[in-house]
Structure 1
Amino acid sequence: MKEICPTVERIVREWPELESPAFLHGMLTGELCGAEKLEVGDFIKGLLQEIGAESVKEKALQTLYVLYDETLKGLTSSDFSLELCLPDEARPLIERARAVGQWCEGFLYGFGLTHPGRAKLGEEVKEYLETLQDVADIDSEALKDVEDEQMNAQLEEIIEFIRIGAIAVYENLHPAERKPIELDTIPEPTHKTVQ
């Protein structure tokens, strides 16, 4: 996934409506979790409609196919290998926190597009979505000029919660042969928002 994120960033520059690579990846992950079954063609067609584009360059199309494929594999693999399209640890804390918030916004948006019947969701899934809303509301500007190990560790903890939670939501809404992950067994982050 890390290899494709820079290419996704170039696509997003052409489609500023998508906000960031993190938002686009969150949106795709949310759609995959919320939809009964989301084919890659449906994802791309829906994306083009969302941004008002009538066509897409071949390179961008290939990138979207790979992004879809890698994300679906990550959600369904037995080794919980989902990776989030976020800036790496070398980037400033404010940039990473902003991207995490954008990923959460994207997930909520994509999930809402494909699973509008929120009342039908289990409590654990609803709680996860509420946590994503809290994270999406992170005031990343408050982190300007802040760089310390504790804040970075808290952000990494939040990222891991989001990542494992997305896999758990997918499993709970798409029961496979293996036993679904119980959402209440995932440790809550000690800090839901970076302060």
Structure 2
Amino acid sequence: MSETLPALHEVESAIRSLGLAIGASELHGSVCGWLAGGGEAGPGWLTQVMLDEAIPAPTPGSELDRLLRGSADQLEDRGFGFTLLLPADDASLAVRSGALFDWCRGFVGGLGLAAGDKSPPSEEGREALKDLAKLAAATAQDDGDDEDEAALAEIEEFVRVAVLLLHGDCAMGPRHRGRLN
């Protein structure tokens, strides 16, 4: 049975209890980037993702452990069930778009940490990564209308597909090539 992601508020609470200077959406992006780049899902993942040796390893079954396991399961899901850990639709457009941009920032950083100078992604993957980096640099707008809501939904779907593409290029591709050799 695959692990499900913990709720956003559960991850926020776990982050606060550790005194980490990151939001739940950005941490989820970092974890997904780490995994998509081929990073290990071992006990030291949080210290590697946060670049801080002083952070204790999440205990098995904790919110942060479930975040890692759920993210890994979703990225490997053949049914493309991958989701982003973002605020609910009833949050303001500014909060949701800001969290999405934070998520992208975390993803780009996590991917860079894990992938380093390993085999580069495909041409499509490189284009997707450039677009994710642009989103990571974006800032949320204060308000919006139905057009902005629709645009945010399209951007979320683009991010989801781009992440799956990069995961295939950087993590799954090398793994499968290694099995063939």
Fold shared, TM-score > 0.5 on shorter chain? yes
Cα deviation, residue 120, structure 1: 2.8
- After superposition, the C-alpha distances for 1:135-180 in whole angstroms (9 at most, x for unaligned) are 112221xx21x13111011001100110111112112231377xxx
Structure 1 residue 64 corresponds to structure 2 residue 64? yes
Mapped contact 1:33–1:166 kept (Cα < 8 A): yes
Q: Which runs of 5+ in 2 are unaligned?
A: 177-181
Aligned pairs (5 A) from 1:5-20:
5-15=8-18, 17-20=20-23
Q: Percent identity?
A: 24
Cα deviation, residue 66, structure 1: 0.8
Structure 1 residue 162 corresponds to structure 2 residue 159? yes
Cα RMSD (Å) of the superposition?
A: 2.4
Partner of 1:120, secondary structure, is coil
Q: Distance in 1 between matches of 2:138 and 2:94?
A: 10
Structure 1 residue 29 corresponds to structure 2 residue 29? no
Q: Distance in 2 between matches of 1:158 and 1:20?
A: 20
Partner of 2:116, secondary structure, is coil
TM-score, length-scaled by structure 1: 0.77
> How many residues are paired up?
171
Q: What is the letter of the counterpart of residue 42 of structure 1?
A: G
TM-score, length-scaled by structure 2: 0.83
Cα 1:32–1:62 change in 2 (3 A) is: same
Q: What is the letter of the counterpart of residue 56 of structure 2?
A: S
Aligned position for 2:83: 83
Q: Which runs of 5+ in 1 are unaligned?
A: 178-195
Cα 1:99–1:16 change in 2 (3 A) is: farther
Cα deviation, residue 52, structure 1: 5.0
Q: Distance in 2 between matches of 1:117 and 1:57?
A: 28
